[in-house]
Structure 1
Amino acid sequence: MSDIGVILLDSDLYRPVGDVGNPDTFAFPVRYHRATGAYAPHVVERGASGLLDIFVAAGRTLVGQGARALSTSCGFLSIYQRQIADATGATVATSALLQAPLLLRMLPSDARLGVVTANAASLSDAHLEAAGVTAGERPRIELIGLEETAHFYPTVVLGQGRLDPTRAAPEVVAAATEAVARDPGIRAFLLECANLPPYAASIRSATGLPVWDISTMLTWVHQGLSG
């Protein structure tokens, strides 16, 4: 039995351990269902416009299979956080971004939270607001985008070729370390993209800062459900 159900985007992406779509990432069973027709570029670059019904249907399927809590494989789906929760009746945590309000309260008031995202140009204030970040808190968030990476973005979002974690890791770590060099006020990282947790340990090692992501959130959700 799986208490957690994850709605996957319609993608054949290679998912190493750490990725939300790899069941070996978690120490507990996770059930998956693909949202057919929900492609990554549409979700990331077009705000998932017109795709709500697809995600609701996938969520209802997972609930029907016994899932008590739902998540997704893309942090940009925070935009539909309230709608999916209301439509499925489940406990829903669409995005790692839901941790942002808590982390901002945990950190000193003058500290900033670095949000590493697949595409900073597309991650809007509406996505953050849907995750609970207030307008007053928005200045404390530094978006760190990966849309200009040579390997990570083309493979993960655009589906061009097979993801090679040994090529993606240096790109992700470089984005994090360069962000801290530009803004020493960053005191922690939150990984928006559900494909980024495989690189969380490398970011911690390179920067000495704490890192949270979709796996830390779902582990917390599971503990609440199952003890």
Structure 2
Amino acid sequence: MCPSEIGIVMLDNEIPRVVGDVGNPASFPFPVSLAVCEGARTDQVLEHAAEGLLPAITETAQSLVNEGALGLSTCCGFLAIHQQELAASLPVPVATSSLLQVPLVLQLLQPHQSIGIMTANGSTLTSTHLGAVGIDTHLQQRVKVIGIEHTAHLYGVLTSNGAKLDQSVAQAEVVGVAKQAVETNPDIGAFVLECTNLPPYSEAIKESTGRPVWDAISLIRWLQLGVTGSQPE
């Protein structure tokens, strides 16, 4: 593992990581290091609130710090549930989840507007996850959780090791979910994408809905700027 500016804790899975995905180093214009947290399965994180995984995640994150990482993130926004514990125990800034951006983005919108949180699984992203990153019960009233768990192609790819990704199909599915969300909830003024596999489709969501989009890539780029004090060349 090479020294890097940002270390990213990866889940123990095998899914496609195209450019734009947090798990692909080519998604960033600065050095990142990836370390797999052994035993951190997708289903354990998405469906069981990452129960029992905090010690292993902490150890993996510390290994990245030992290799020179100046800041830490993860490859799954559901690890927001451990944001406070990880930030308290690790010696560098920790940004587990793109959901950290939600309170800030709400400050940018008109009072009647809400944020659409696009997530891998809307049925298992709970108020506990949201509260752990500062989205308190008051702010949760201005949040619409929009899951992609019913997509015919993409969700299966993200939850099944070794499945092949058709990016054009995945993009069409994600855009369709976003457009339906805006039609159903016209008060949505912006999107924040929880899932770290969704940033490849951020631009398409923005173009199709006319709403600004923040995601895990925007979070990690912000983190990098803060810990290094310099823009990547």
Q: More deviation in 152-161 or 63-72?
A: 152-161
Q: More deviation in 155-164 or 3-12?
A: 155-164
The answer (yes or no) to whether the contact 2:37–2:56 under 8 Å persists in 1 is yes
TM-score, with normalisation over the residues of structure 1?
A: 0.98
Find the counterpart in structure 1 of residue 56 from structure 2.
54
1:44 shift after superposition: 0.4
Find the counterpart in structure 1 of residue 92 from structure 2.
90
Find the counterpart in structure 2 of residue 203 from structure 1.
205
What is the rounded CA distance, in whole Å, between the counterparts of 1:39 and 1:170 in structure 2? 27
Structure 1 outlier segments of 4+, above 2 Å: 157-160
Find the counterpart in structure 1 of residue 182 from structure 2.
180
AA aligned opposite 1:13 = I
- Aligned alpha-carbon RMSD (Å): 0.9
Find the counterpart in structure 2 of residue 130 from structure 1.
132
Give SS of 1:15's match: coil
**Which of 197, 215, 221 is the matching residue for 2:217?**
215
Find the counterpart in structure 2 of residue 32 from structure 1.
34
What is the rounded CA distance, in whole Å, between the counterparts of 1:101 and 1:202 in structure 2? 24
Give SS of 2:138's match: coil
1:160 shift after superposition: 6.2
Q: Does 1:115 align with 2:123?
A: no
What is the rounded CA distance, in whole Å, between the counterparts of 1:139 and 1:153 in structure 2? 27
Give SS of 1:100's match: helix
Q: More deviation in 163-172 or 96-105?
A: 163-172
Find the counterpart in structure 2 of residue 64 from structure 1.
66
Per-residue CA distance 1:42-63 (angstroms, 9 max, x = gap) = 1001111111111001001000
Find the counterpart in structure 1 of residue 193 from structure 2.
191
Q: Does 1:8 align with 2:10?
A: yes
The answer (yes or no) to whether the contact 2:14–2:162 under 8 Å persists in 1 is no
The answer (yes or no) to whether the contact 2:15–2:160 under 8 Å persists in 1 is no
1:158 shift after superposition: 3.4
Find the counterpart in structure 2 of residue 147 from structure 1.
149
Identity of aligned residues (%): 43
Structure 2 unaligned spans of 5+: none
Find the counterpart in structure 1 of residue 108 from structure 2.
106
1:82 shift after superposition: 1.0
Shift of the 47–158 alpha-carbon distance from structure 1 to 2, 3 Å rule, reads farther
Structure 1 unaligned spans of 5+: none
> Aligned residue pairs: how many?
227
